[in-house]
Amino acid sequence: MSITENKTAAKIIRRRTRFEETWRQFRKNQGAIVGTTLLVFLATLALAAPLAAPEGLDDQHLGRRFQPPSRENILGTDNLGRDILSRIIHGSRLSLSIGFITTSIGLVAGGSLGAIAGYYGGHRDQVIMRFMDIILAIPGFIFAVALVTALGPNLLNLMIAVGLNSIPYFARIIRSSVLSVKEEEYIQAARVIGCSNGWIIARHVIPNAFAPILVQATLRIGDTIIIAAGLSFLGLGAQPPLPEWGAMLSAGRQYLRDAWWMATFPGIAIMITVLAFNLVGDGLRDALDPRLKS
Confidence at residue 210, expressed as pLDDT on a 0 to 100 scale: 76
The Cα–Cα gap between 233 and 213 comes to 30
- CATH number, domain of 268, equals 1.10.3720.10
Cis peptide before 241 (omega within 30 of 0): yes
Q: What average pLDDT does the segment 58-80 reach?
A: 90
- Does residue 62 belong to any structural domain of this protein? no
The model's pLDDT over 191-221, given as tens digits with 9 standing for 90+, comes to 778 777 777 777 777 777 777 888 889 989 9
Domain extent at residue 193? 83-292
How many domains is the chain partitioned into structurally? 1
Residue 126 lies in a domain: yes
Question: Is 65 or 121 the better-scoring residue by pLDDT?
Answer: 65
pLDDT score recorded for residue 111: 87
Split at pLDDT 50, 70, 90, the class of 19 is low
For the segment 267-293, what is each residue's pLDDT rounded down to a tens digit?
Answer: 999 999 999 999 998 888 888 765 555
Average pLDDT over residues 239-249: 89
Q: Which residues contact 137 (CB under 8 A, 6 or more apart)?
A: none
